[in-house]
Amino acid sequence: MTISPLHGTALAFLALLIVSCTKQESALPAAPRSTSPATGQVLVDGQPAPKLLVTCHDNRGTDIPNAPRPVGLTGEDGKIEFSTWQKADGIPAGEYVLTFTWREWDPYWNRFHGTDRLKDRYADPATSTVKLSVKKDAPTELGTIELSTE
């Protein structure tokens, strides 16, 4: 039995329709997206450090599947605003080690570029000494974190 080109096209379309209608599972966790606020300030050489990136690494390790990676970006006054699922939503409860990088911000491309002005001294979670413990539904105050370019 041979299939005409018209029937072949119809069968291919039907197969594509069936595949596209099947339920797809997301690779991301269906997470409780509960977060808590965390505040603090970063100074570099005694001065507020604007556009400094603070990354929260899960204290249990970096190989945990689907672990959130909250980040903070400092404002002109060096104060940190943390985001996990959306802008300024806070950090999920847990134990974290913080890393810091301070590259040039390119507003045109909306990204960082260039070398770290902190010379990668605070960029490795394995050697960072700054820890953060976030409790569920409780604000956390980091205080002032002082870094150096020297």
- Show the domains of the chain with their CATH numbers: 38-147 (2.60.40.10)
Residue 2: which pLDDT band, with cuts at 50, 70 and 90?
low
Q: Residue 138: what residue type?
A: A
Question: Which segments within 14-123 are labelled E, that is strand?
Answer: 38-44, 47-48, 53-58, 71-74, 80-83, 94-101, 104-106, 111-113
Q: Report strand pairing: 140-147 vs 38-44.
A: parallel
Supply the pLDDT for residue 66. 76
51, 105 Cβ separation under 8 angstroms: yes
pLDDT per position as a tens digit, 76-131: 999 999 999 999 999 999 999 999 999 999 989 989 999 999 999 999 999 999 99
The better pLDDT of the pair 97, 20 is held by: 97
pLDDT digits (tens, 9 = 90+) for 28-62: 444 457 999 999 999 999 999 999 999 999 987 76
